[in-house]
Structure 1
Amino acid sequence: MMRENAAMGADLSYLYSLGKTDLRLGYSFNHEYHNTNNPLFRLDRVMGADSSRYDVLPSTTLALDEAIDTKNSYRSIDYADEHVAYLVFYHSWPSFRGDLSVHLPVAFSKKWLHYDRGNHQDVNRSRVFFNPKMTFEWGRKWRWSLGATMSSTMPDLVSMADYEDDADPLHIRRGNRTLKDLHHYDVTWSTRHGGTLQSLFHVQWGFHQTDHAVAWSLTFDEANGVSTVQPVSVNGNWHTDASVGYSRALDKASRWSIDNQLTAGYNHNIDMATVASSSSSIRSVVSNWQAGDNVKLTWRPNDGYELSLHGAGNYFYIHGERSDFSDIHAGNYSLGLNAFVSLPCHFQLSTDMTMYARRGYQQSEMNTTDWVWNAELTRSFVKGHLVAKLQGFDFLRQLSNTSYAVNAQGRTETWHNSIPRYAMLSLSWRFNVNPKKKNAE
């Protein structure tokens, strides 16, 4: 596959200031160009030929060059132009440290796609989008913040091309010209307060919604075992989340400190899924509830020593409206200890040991308990410019290349090609450039 990409843009604006109020009127232009060429070949058309062998005759090599899969080879050239006229309003209230910013852009967007795949077809779409954004912050001891945004985008034009890809004869992909524009809505609110003994309290909440999200619908032909997938637009995806955090020193000398973070969220997820009793995808509605807490207690008598005990837990309740969906009541929790010690001869040692546990999942392989112990020894030389570091990871050999997780629609399994347990020695040189101080006149 060969790709060429190019982009250019320009922005012109005028700022008019009226004391505590600023008005900015502007215009911006963005252009993008993408050229993709993906030739595919049918080597089965030249029996017994292998172009990587050194003893292949020239005539066979030429035959391989002509064995192109014309149906699935493609070339796409797409352009995107966006003209944006915008007005930005800003006003400040010094009496209560208030700041209001309102961004009002109107975007004139147009996309073209020239698509060659067996035949030539042109796909284009023009839209006018209004993407406003507002942020408002105020308060002194208690700092409040409120934000709201709305944005719209077009779907990928290649997904809207009228094509059928059967390079994998058992897995066919098709485009869909009826895909709709995507619309995103976001609202956030937060407050924070700083008090004595380095205390900090904060609360935040957010709501996010996406209209016409792109999902992939599948149809399975039981007669020949062929699966056909196609993008479709779905509605009803939204989620909300909230968190409460509190941290403070426990004594006047700030040797002891505690940090606690509470989280909660709900995700209403709409996707396309295939069930055992149907040969085609159906609309899948899954509700996800989450609640968790993360607490950390730290003791730091001086700059050379630090010890912390931390624990965390998350509970998940996942409910699906499909007949074949089994509800999930599961939880993850961890408990660990971190330490930092300054050793003689300018050595520094940091280590952590944490137990990660998962319980309540229906598959036994997902209910795991892993003890992970890591350590790091560092030493600096040449006035701190040269740093030598020896790292050891997963001393107890508890980690695996295969990990299991639960996404918004159920379970996923991921395999990583990695080395979970290792030791590594590294050397690094620090370059510090400090500008010369100018004498004040």
Structure 2
Amino acid sequence: MKIKILAAMIALSLATAVSFSQTQTSQSKGGKTQASEAKSSQQKEKKERTVYVSGNLYDSFLHTPLKARVYLMNEDSVVTDSMKTVINSYVKTSRFHFQVPQRAARFIVKAVCEGYEDGYISYDLKPMRRKEGYLLPDIPMKRRRQDDIYKDVELGDVVVHGTRIQMAYRGDTIVYDAAAFNLPEGSMLDGLVRLMPGAELKDNGDIYVNGRKVDYLTLNGKDFFKGKNNIMLENLPYFTVKEVKVYDKSTETSELMGRDVEQKDYVMDVELKREYAMGYIVNTEAGAGSNDRWMARLFGLYYGDKLRVSTFFNANNVNENRKLGQEGEWSPKKLSRGQLTTKQAGVNAEYSDAKLSLKETFDASVDWSGTRTEQRSVSQTFSTGGDIMRRSEYLSKDDDFSLSMRNMLRNQKLGIHSGVNLYYSNTKTMGMSADSTFNDWLMNSNINRTMRRYKNFRANAYISWYKPLNTGDAVMFSATASYGSSKPYESFRIDRTVYETTGDIDLRRRYTDSHSMNYSYTLSAGYRYVLPKVFDIELRTGYCQEFRSAANGNYRFDRFDNELPEQLGWLPSTRDSMMMALDADNSYFHSTLNRYMKNELAIIRSTKKGFLYFILPLSTGRERMIYSGTGLDTIARRTSLKLNPSFQYSTSGKNQFRFVYYGNLSQPSFYSLMPREDTNNPLYRRISNPDLKSEFRHKLEVRKTVKCDSIGMSYWINLDAQLVQNARGTRTAYSSATGAYTYRDDNVNGNWNAKLRYGMDGTFDKKRRLRYTLNTTVAYEHCVDFDIAYDSEASALSKVNTVNLGLGGGLKYKIDKLTVGINGKIDSRFSRSDRENFNALNVYDFRYGTNLQYLIPWVKLDIATDINMFSRRGYDSGEMNTSDLVWNAQLAHTFMKGRVTAKVMAYDILHQLSNKRYSVNAQGRTETWYNTVPRYVMFSMTYKLHVKPCKR
């Protein structure tokens, strides 16, 4: 019995043990399963790395972009994402993009557009290492046959009441509506640009928008005489313009890569009205006026889907840089010097295929110009030993001819970009001048006559290849070559100098025969390494070679005993006579050969919110010079060094920020280090300095732009600063006996400047009829140079501190066909110095005025007028302290269904216009008067023709 009980207890114990073991095992397995499931869940929750796939769709017949809905589906046709296409009218694309997991997969893209058949493509994604973006095949959309979406639709009479807005923001783009501005009939594009809020047009064609310089102009998103803004500004009729857009445009390299890899260009794009998008237009104008003023111009433009051809001719003798009914921005301070007669003609052609992957651009222009310049100036040179005064008068007549051609080819599929540029000029100048130097008494006087004639030729060519790799990286190669020559460069000069203290007279008849030649070429290769979601790193290296030779032969014909003809341009008939007249002390020859390696490191970071760009170019090499002159015939060598680091950070969006730093290390030219003296002019002797050091310039720009759409206002603030280390200064010794100067360049430290600018514009009322603008400037300049040394080579430093204060603004009211504006501006300069005998300078330039433009509806007469008071105070010369009331007016009438416009223009009705300039630095100040175009009244006729293509 006991044995049975014991056996039962053992069996029960074993069963319990087995059951406990199984329970523990089950619990252990369950715990592992739960941990595994939790880990798997965490991995799924972890964000999977993604890449972008992007594509483009278009009308299969017209190749125009379309507004469509695009769906992303998996291989089972299940929709996973969708979006509307984004149309870019600049490059005629209708793009879409999706973010997908970075893993091998097949998906389908479906495009739906009203009036079109659905478009499909399938794509097999095969991820490539670090590649972040993949380009899908284009989707051509076919029109449904039963839907004639191209048919003309006639609408009944519609009356729309509203106020057009002059300026608006579309994302980062500033858009100006050309129809919202009132301009006189016959106006060109420059008239529109001058009226656009926040825009400023300089007389050389440079355009600033909200204080930032526009890099170049484009027409419908395409280049148009790139780098020559005035051609489009002065010849494109205002009536053809629909909108003007200002934005940051990606470079061609960035377009090849499919993302921004370089700093964007700030461009102004002129978009033509739809009716001028195809067909051709002709606009011509001719006019004649009093005081022998005349003008004529012709502009023709053919615009098609693939080909655009334009041609222009412009001839006038009115300086062509003043406009009517505006805010006085053509003030005397901004007029070009002298009286200019110009004749200019050119042609521009551009071909591009439907997808814009192939683009060919050609432009050529020819210029003839003649300038008659009169100049009177008074200068004061600061010196501790007593300031030196100088008065001078100058009269010149210049005749110039120039020819330029440019051809550019871009093949985006192959990644090739190439171009050729040619330039030729021929110039002749005749001049006569007289000047005198004095302090407490008259030191010397000089009268001279000059004639110069010279020809220049330049050519350069380039080719680059940019190849994106499947990994997302890219390789690049480029080659450039250039050639230039200046031959001949001849100068004839007769100088008569009278030293008043001794009564001595120095008479010289000089002839200079100069010519130069240069060439260079560069071969470079680079690799761009992409770190996804971080940076792009680009390494580039290249070999460069530069060669330049120059010969300068100076001759003194006054050394001949026999009498010489008085006319300029005479040369001896024999070589022996020429050699007898050779001024060996002032003649030389040199050639320079520079071979160097250029290495460059760039770090780029581009996102939707901003752009960061750092570049460090460093080049080192060997430079050799062969120099031959009086007392020196040698071969010299030195190590060449170039360093130009730069850093830029900018943000995009409604409120933009921009930070830019540039550094530039530049060595003095090898020629300037050769020991030599220039004694051509007895009053100005220059001695070279072999100990000149390299100069390093630091430039900084910080900018903030804010747009407040809710109240119709925007404002910007800009800080510019510059520091120069080892700046180039001039040691000047002055002879109190003769009034002659001796110059020697040397390095000086302490030069820096800073400028703070603030601007704002906006509207007061909801209908945006009343607009205001305000611009302020505060600038400080610390200028350091060498003081003038009297009868000594030693000279102390001269330090001058100048504060510039500027304030300008205006109000403009526009209702229907009436525009009225008032404006004002003041610029002041205050200069101080601790140097003895320095007179504080307090100079003020200010203007104020009004302008009006109105179209009288019942007679269709366009009236435009402006009147401005220009005043100056604080100048030493009495003729500079003036108040000039300048009044202009224009009447225009259009008839023959808008094809013909008759205009009467009156410039400077009160005969008050003048052109005066002022400058000051550490060594002195100068007040200068120039002649300008006299007042005149001109009558002109404008004819415009527009022909549309036949409907297909």
TM-score range relative to shorter protein: 0.7 to 0.9
Tell me, in whole angstroms, the C-alpha distance in 2 between the residues paired with 1:417 and 1:17: 59
Q: Which residue of 2 aligns with 1:117?
A: 629
Residue aligned with 1:39, SS: strand
Once the two structures are superposed, what CA deviation does each residue of 1:193-223 show, in whole Å capped at 9, x if it has no partner? 1012431111111221111111222113345
Q: Residue 398 of structure 1 is aligned with which of 912, 925, 945?
A: 912
TM-aligned CA distance change 1:339 to 1:108, over 3 Å: farther
Please name the residue that 1:145 is paired with: 658
> Which residue of structure 2 lines up, in the alignment, with residue 85 of structure 1?
599
Alignment of 1:19-418 (within 5 A): 19-20=532-533, 21-50=535-564, 62-64=576-578, 66-94=580-608, 97-118=609-630, 119-138=632-651, 140-195=653-708, 196-223=710-737, 225-274=739-788, 281-302=795-816, 304-342=817-855, 348-376=862-890, 391-400=905-914, 403-409=916-922, 410-418=924-932
Considering fraction of residues, name the structure with more strand. Answer: 1
Going from structure 1 to structure 2, the CA distance change for 1:66 and 1:331 (only over 3 Å counts) comes to: same
RMSD over aligned Cα atoms: 3.6
Percent identity, please: 26
Q: How many residue pairs end up in the alignment? A: 433
Q: SS at the partner of 2:752?
A: strand
Change (3 A) 1:113 1:61: closer
Structure 2 residue runs of 5 or longer lacking an equivalent are: 1-513
Higher helix share: 2
1:111 Cα deviation (Å)?
Answer: 3.9
Tell me, in whole angstroms, the C-alpha distance in 1 between the residues paired with 2:567 and 2:724. Answer: 52
- Superposed displacement of residue 415, structure 1: 3.9
Change (3 A) 1:57 1:214: closer
The offset of 1:62, in angstroms, is 5.0
User: Shift in Å at residue 386 of structure 1?
Assistant: 8.5
Taking the aligned partners of 1:139 and 1:101, their CA distance within structure 2 comes to: 14
1:174 partner letter: I
Partners of 1:197 and 1:251 within 8 A in 2: no
Q: Indicate the SS of the match to 1:41.
A: strand
Whether the 8 Å CA contact 1:91–1:101 is kept in 2: the answer is yes
Cα pair 1:221 1:279 within 8 Å, conserved: no
Q: Distance in 2 between matches of 1:358 and 1:9?
A: 51
Larger mean CA deviation between 422-431 and 62-71 belongs to: 422-431
Residues 387 and 30 from structure 1, CA distance in 2 versus in 1: closer, same or farther, beyond 3 angstroms?
farther
Q: What is the rounded CA distance, in whole Å, between the counterparts of 1:246 and 1:254 in structure 2?
A: 15
Q: What amino acid sits opposite 1:114 in the alignment?
A: I
- Answer with 1 or 2: which has the greater Rg: 2
Paired with 1:198 and 1:40, the residues of 2 have a C-alpha distance of 65
CA distance in 2, matches of 1:34, 1:135: 34
Q: Deviations over 1:175-199 (max 9, x none)?
A: 1101110101122211111012431
| TM-score, normalised via structure 1 length | 0.85
| Whole-angstrom CA distance in 2 between matches of 1:387 and 1:252 | 35
Gap change, CA 1:339 and 1:41, over 3 Å in 2: same
- The answer to whether the 8 A contact 2:641-2:667 is kept is no
Q: Which has the higher contact order (CA 8 A, sep 6+)?
A: 2
1:7 deviates by 3.5
The letter of the residue matching 1:187 is L
Aligned-partner residue type, residue 8 of structure 1: Y
Q: Distance in 1 between matches of 2:595 and 2:902?
A: 51
